[in-house]
């Protein structure tokens, strides 16, 4: 078709096209209901807000629970630390009580050993068995000396050591005066004699030494 086509032919062609074309499919699609659409959107928005508020409330609850849990954990840790300290203190007290009992045994053995060392047989008695008696007493003394040394080793393994007193200046932190002496050959306030041994547990006094102090 050229530009020289008469106007009536163009109109006729357009009319024929309109008659032959089916426009029913164009009107078959239902147009959306904007009111219902906006209503659904508003409902959805409300639900989203509600869900957001609920989510925020859940987060707040979880945050509070975390804070509470942290506080409980700190309280539990403090309580465990205190319980550990109490347990350590109880163990130290039990160990101290046990060591003091060992020291009491040590005192008894030491006193018996010194008594045997200082024993002198009477010449007028038991002449027929004097040699055997002296030998027996000497063997008993040796046995007690060995026992004392083993007990001292056991104490040392548990960090218990005797306090060196005799010839030392009196120290009120580790000694207690139970007797007074007067020896001009010694300086004032020096320990003349140890009447009962004192002991240290590491650097702490386990038992004070009972001493005789020189006083001029």
Examine the pLDDT at 138 and tell me if it is beyond 50.
yes
- In a domain, residue 174? The reply is yes
The DSSP-derived string for 165-212 is -TTSBP-TTTEEEEEEE--TTS-TTBEEEEEE--EEETTEEEEPEEEE
Full-prediction pTM beyond 0.75?
A: no
pLDDT of residue 5: 58
Confidence of residue 130 (pLDDT cuts 50, 70, 90): low
- In a domain, residue 182? The reply is yes
Stronger pLDDT, 2 or 167, i.e. the higher one? 167
Examine the pLDDT at 126 and tell me if it is beyond 60.
no
pLDDT of residue 90: 93
- In a domain, residue 187? The reply is yes
Residue in 197, 172, 6 with CA at minimum distance from that of residue 109: 197
Beta partners for residue 161, in sequence order: 200
Q: What is the pLDDT of residues 23-37, one digit of tens each?
A: 665 555 556 677 877
The number of folded domains in the chain is 1
Cα radius of gyration (the chain): 54
Instruction: For residue 174, give the CATH number of its domain.
Output: 2.30.22.10
pLDDT of residue 1: 46
Task: Tell me what the mean pLDDT of segment 143-154 comes to.
Answer: 91
- In a domain, residue 168? The reply is yes
Q: How far apart are CA 107 and CA 113, in angstroms?
A: 10
Among the ranges 49-63, 135-149, 183-197, which has the highest mean pLDDT value? 183-197
Task: Tell me what the mean pLDDT of segment 89-106 comes to.
Answer: 93
- In a domain, residue 22? The reply is no
Task: Tell me what the mean pLDDT of segment 65-93 comes to.
Answer: 92
Give the structural domain span for 178.
159-216
- In a domain, residue 126? The reply is no
Mean of all residue pLDDT scores within the chain: 85
pLDDT of residue 23: 61
- In a domain, residue 211? The reply is yes
Examine the pLDDT at 22 and tell me if it is beyond 70.
no
Q: How far apart are CA 100 and CA 16, in angstroms?
A: 128
Q: What is the pLDDT of residues 60-72, one digit of tens each?
A: 899 999 999 999 9
- In a domain, residue 153? The reply is no
Examine the pLDDT at 43 and tell me if it is beyond 90.
no
């Amino acid at each position: 078709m050229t530009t020289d086509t008469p106007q009536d032919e163009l109109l006729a062609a357009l009319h024929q096209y309109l008659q032959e074309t089916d426009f029913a499919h164009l009107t078959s699609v239902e147009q959306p209901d904007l009111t219902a659409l906006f209503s659904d959107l508003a409902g959805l928005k409300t639900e989203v807000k509600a869900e957001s508020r609920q989510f925020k409330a859940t987060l707040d609850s979880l945050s509070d629970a975390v804070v509470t849990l942290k506080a409980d954990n700190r309280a539990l840790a403090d309580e465990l630390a205190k319980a550990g300290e109490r347990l350590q203190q109880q163990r130290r007290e039990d160990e101290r009580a046990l060591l003091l009992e060992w020291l009491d045994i040590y005192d008894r053995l030491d006193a018996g050993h010194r008594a045997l060392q200082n024993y002198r047989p009477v010449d007028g008695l038991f002449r027929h068995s004097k040699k055997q008696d002296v030998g027996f007493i000497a063997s008993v003394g040796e046995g007690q000396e060995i026992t004392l040394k083993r007990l001292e080793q056991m104490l040392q393994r548990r960090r218990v050591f005797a306090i060196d007193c005799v010839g030392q200046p009196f120290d009120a932190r580790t000694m207690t005066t139970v007797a007074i002496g007067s020896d001009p050959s010694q300086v004032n306030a020096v320990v003349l004699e140890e009447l009962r041994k004192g002991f240290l547990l590491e650097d702490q006094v386990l038992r004070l030494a009972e001493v005789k102090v020189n006083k001029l």
